[in-house]
Structure 1
Amino acid sequence: MGANERPLHLLNYINGEWQGDNLETFDVINPATNELVGTMPNGTEKDVLAAIEGADAAFKEWKKLSAEERAAYLEKMYARLIERKEEIAQVLTEENGKPLKEARGEVLYAASFIKWYAEEGKRVYGRTIPSKGEGQRIQVIKQPVGVVAAITPWNFPAAMITRKLAPALAAGCTFIVKPPKETPLTAAKIMECAEEAGIPRGVVNMVLTPNEAFSETVQKSKVVRKLTFTGSTEVGKLLMKQSADTMKNISLELGGQAPLIVLDDADVETAVEGTIASKFRNAGQTCICANRIYVQSGIYDEFVGKLKEKVAELKVGNGLEEDVDIGPLINQKGYDKVVRHVEDAVAKGAEVLVGGKGHQTSEQDAPFFEPTLLINAKENMLCMTEETFGPVVPVQKVESDEEAVRLANDTPFGLAAYYFTENMSRGTKIGEALDYGIVGWNHGAPSAAQAPFGGTKQSGLGREGGAEGIEPFLETKYLSIGIK
């Protein structure tokens, strides 16, 4: 249990009250140890409706506050997250499995969105447009969309909430989140910070229900004006179809299949460090991690040799141990997919240079998988065409810039891509040619609160973060004013 003397028992947060003691509970398990971390209530459709009602009532007053007043609440919430960083990071590691050093970093990352949008909300501007005649004035103003429903994933259980919550609140919207059952305790801790910041009742809500019950209830509601989702492309498409009946404003941050290109003039040390930073964070369970590596033949052997050394140094274990680099996979399903990808690659001619094995001897064992380096990868391998979501890095040799870009773009997804070159002209052309929403040039960790995050093609709709991240929570209103 780490720092917890006993399992946590936390509740849903609905309309300013902690609720659910009368409901059946489900267990939250540490994937590294299979030990009980805590319990949460199984909410119902009635709880979702109560959250919607509370958020709708709160919206009527919250939207009237000035940007400065809303910012003051967000600043207080930011301060609480920073003050409780160690506690929240501990809970996050226990239920998610990622190393504690990464969990601490995520809490700070989550807090950065609150800090950023506390200020960005003050910069929501309208404009005045010249009219055609003396008797008319034209104004454009921005107003909050309304009640927002959010569905967030388990791989970043703190940051994926605040990246949605902060701009929503800053814009004047109220907010209902359904976190995943794998990592609900971190979400509840974030709700505690909101409550401690004095954010008025109903402005922020959290309810744990089955996925279908939550999505169907909010999709039918005429009160919920916006849905924001981070998860798989398959589910995103379903939510998009469901939203059509009420014409909801919808934002989708979906799956990725990120390529990483190393050109023959790259700084090899920089490229290796960038690959490690991108690929192995959260055991490769991130939507923007490098999933397939393309290396030009002139630098291939040197890059592979140095990458092999770095991958071999990574330590696997319980994330609560300070020197661990790779924690467990989130569950059996994730573990089985990684095993399938590695076995498929080997069967089709890939060579395992490092790792290649799981640590399970039975399904009762924790789902650890060794950091794995595969060479001689080919386009027909699952690991080169599907998102592995695990600590596996396959490397394919390419001959030209054109071949690398063609292979990189040969996917229905377009979330993130990476490339390494020291040539400005060459790099500029490749950056413009890659069909992705996020591109890292000589850099493997591009995420930041002040930058827009989102993809092209089937990787989603809209952007989160940066000045762009508040726009999906705003409506544009045009006022045509006749004067005498």
Structure 2
Amino acid sequence: METELFLGGKWVPASSGNRFDVLDPATGDTIASVADGAEVDAIAAVDAAAAAGPGWAATPPRVRGEVLRKAFELMTERAADLAELISLENGKALTDAKGEVTYAAEFFRWFAEEAVRIDGNLTGAPGGTNRILVTRQPVGVCVLVTPWNFPAAMATRKIGPALAAGCTVVLKPASDTPLTALAMAAILAEAGVPEGVVNVLPSRSSGKVVSTMLRDARVRKLSFTGSTEVGRILLAQAAENVVNTSMELGGNAPFVVFADADLDAAIEGAMLAKMRNGGEACTAANRFFVEAGIADEFSRRLAQRMSALVVGPGTDEKTQVGPLVNEDTVAKVDDLVKGALAAGAEAVTGGSRPAGKGFYYPPTVLTGVGADAAILREEIFGPVAPIVTFTGEDEAVRLANDTEFGLVAYVYTGDLARGLRVSERIEAGMVGLNRGLVSDPAAPFGGVKQSGIGREGGHEGLLEYLESKYIAVNW
């Protein structure tokens, strides 16, 4: 288990010698002590990335792609160990952790193939004066800031396209889950990534080290996944040097079920959309809007399924719902549920935090939730499903759009025309139509409104790390 900073292809201690503890969410006990990077280490990371930049940009795309392909193969070979590590430091059930490793590795495979598909174009100027030649070039040194909820996948979703495009990177992982990011660094080094191309900088002083890098003129790209509140701050800081930014921010996903939906499919989709990663996902269904005629049946069946889930340590093979990541997260979920109950909602199952060690919260279904309830305004980030009823298509769309966020939405209906119509009307970057899962490395992932800027995955994800250069030429 690597626990030092990874800078310039070497494992080095923090300049200050400081370290911080990584905790097991199931017990609150310390798993490991990790080097705590500071501003001087951030500059060293940028130094390494900048020095490696020209050589990596000049490396043939096929070679870059083969390195990413090797990283995919190594991740696949070590999937069991990586899943156990993710579960240990993140708390997610081992089944979810295994799914994350598979998903994360696929980003390396996808962008290994995209590396050789960096396109350009040649056209004639409308006035006939010259040719318009457009080529793509790597944007440069990239700072990548990732969250704790998918510590492997959020890293590979950024590293994969950056390396495919010919960029070098500094990864700043969440301080709750740095061990997985360091494991990714080791795999990439073994796969043949040259020294300095990938640097990993764990730190408890996230704001300071990221701000330091953004003030460095050599940094030309920031890709951030996290809360909208932090995203706003980073956008303001990036503006000082006009740094290219990609932001995947908060979500507040509506899950809309019409009376003509296949109820079996809707329940299965709800379990997937709500309970993937224990609800600790930006794509998690956050607000359930169910047509009045089927609301009681939907609520009863969803509660039945959620109450049957096995809660326990993520590393236990029998566990289906692990602990939440830390005390702040479980306390927030508990406060949101208490507020909803105090306002008149009813807990059909769950609804209170258990006593004992660990950051656990039981799967919870709330009915009788008012359309203006506070729990509908915030990302819950836990295994809680608040249910609101509606009586028509227009009301469903209005309720779904009544949020500052617009990352993903889910729609269940037996009427394809209605499904497509509602999908177009809902303000979200992604829609799962009769599906509880939208994430795919080959698809553009991202939101609208205050859920972000730009896209990750798909060919669009590669373009985020490239600049278009126009050359005017005659011949």
User: Scaled by the length of structure 1, what TM-score is found?
Assistant: 0.96
Aligned-residue offset at 1:25: 1.2
1:69 corresponds in structure 2 to 63
1:476 corresponds in structure 2 to 468
C-alpha distance after superposition, 1:395-415 (max 9, x if no partner): 111111111110000101000
Cα distance in 1 for residues equivalent to 2:64 and 2:173: 24
Aligned-residue offset at 1:456: 0.3
Aligned-residue offset at 1:9: 5.3
1:27 to 21, 29, 52: 21
Matched, 1:289 2:281: no
Aligned-residue offset at 1:137: 2.9
Q: State the identity %.
A: 43
Q: Matched residue of 1:280: which SS?
A: helix
Q: How many residues align?
A: 473
2:215 to 220, 231, 254: 220
Cα distance in 1 for residues equivalent to 2:418 and 2:38: 55
Deviating above 3 A after TM superposition, structure 1's stretches of 4 or more consecutive aligned residues are 131-136
1:328 to 319, 323, 326: 323
Matched, 1:51 2:45: yes
Cα distance in 2 for residues equivalent to 1:348 and 1:153: 32
Cα distance in 1 for residues equivalent to 2:238 and 2:303: 47
Cα distance in 2 for residues equivalent to 1:425 and 1:109: 31
2:117 corresponds in structure 1 to 123
C-alpha distance after superposition, 1:193-234 (max 9, x if no partner): 001111100111101231122221111011010000000001
Cα distance in 2 for residues equivalent to 1:259 and 1:179: 29
Q: Matched residue of 2:431: which SS?
A: strand
1:339 corresponds in structure 2 to 334
Aligned-residue offset at 1:282: 1.6
1:185 corresponds in structure 2 to 179
Q: Which runs of 5+ in 1 are unaligned?
A: 1-7
1:231–1:254 CA contact under 8 A, matched in 2: yes
1:371 corresponds in structure 2 to 363
Matched, 1:358 2:353: yes
One-letter amino acid of the counterpart of residue 213, structure 1 = K
Cα distance in 2 for residues equivalent to 1:231 and 1:93: 20
One-letter amino acid of the counterpart of residue 406, structure 2 = G
1:410-425 to structure 2, matched below 5 A, reads 410-425=402-417
1:9–1:39 CA contact under 8 A, matched in 2: no
1:221-236 to structure 2, matched below 5 A, reads 221-236=216-231
1:201 corresponds in structure 2 to 195
Matched, 1:96 2:108: no
1:28–1:182 CA contact under 8 A, matched in 2: yes
2:131 corresponds in structure 1 to 137
1:406 corresponds in structure 2 to 398
1:141-290 to structure 2, matched below 5 A, reads 141-209=135-203, 210-290=205-285
Matched, 1:312 2:311: no
One-letter amino acid of the counterpart of residue 258, structure 1 = A
Cα distance in 2 for residues equivalent to 1:138 and 1:9: 49
Cα distance in 2 for residues equivalent to 1:279 and 1:131: 51
1:107 corresponds in structure 2 to 101
1:81–1:193 CA contact under 8 A, matched in 2: yes
Aligned-residue offset at 1:21: 6.6
1:342–1:356 CA contact under 8 A, matched in 2: yes
Aligned-residue offset at 1:245: 1.2
1:451–1:465 CA contact under 8 A, matched in 2: yes
Cα distance in 2 for residues equivalent to 1:296 and 1:394: 14
1:25–1:42 CA contact under 8 A, matched in 2: yes
1:15 to 8, 16, 23: 8
1:360–1:367 CA contact under 8 A, matched in 2: no
Aligned-residue offset at 1:135: 7.3
One-letter amino acid of the counterpart of residue 393, structure 2 = D
1:60 corresponds in structure 2 to 54
1:430 corresponds in structure 2 to 422
C-alpha distance after superposition, 1:355-377 (max 9, x if no partner): 1111235xxx2110110011111
2:329–2:381 CA contact under 8 A, matched in 1: yes
Cα distance in 2 for residues equivalent to 1:132 and 1:89: 55
Aligned-residue offset at 1:381: 1.5
1:285–1:389 CA contact under 8 A, matched in 2: yes
Q: Which runs of 5+ in 2 are unaligned?
A: none
Cα distance in 1 for residues equivalent to 2:220 and 2:174: 22
Aligned-residue offset at 1:35: 2.2
C-alpha distance after superposition, 1:422-454 (max 9, x if no partner): 101111110110000011011111101001110
One-letter amino acid of the counterpart of residue 219, structure 2 = V
One-letter amino acid of the counterpart of residue 117, structure 1 = F
2:5–2:14 CA contact under 8 A, matched in 1: no
C-alpha distance after superposition, 1:68-109 (max 9, x if no partner): 111011111111111111111111100000011111110111
Cα distance in 1 for residues equivalent to 2:151 and 2:274: 19
Aligned-residue offset at 1:348: 0.9
One-letter amino acid of the counterpart of residue 420, structure 1 = Y
Cα distance in 2 for residues equivalent to 1:455 and 1:428: 18
C-alpha distance after superposition, 1:117-138 (max 9, x if no partner): 0101211110111146777332
1:428-467 to structure 2, matched below 5 A, reads 428-467=420-459
Q: Matched residue of 2:119: which SS?
A: coil
Cα distance in 1 for residues equivalent to 2:18 and 2:376: 42
C-alpha distance after superposition, 1:319-368 (max 9, x if no partner): 1111211111111111111111111111111111101111235xxx2110
1:370-389 to structure 2, matched below 5 A, reads 370-389=362-381
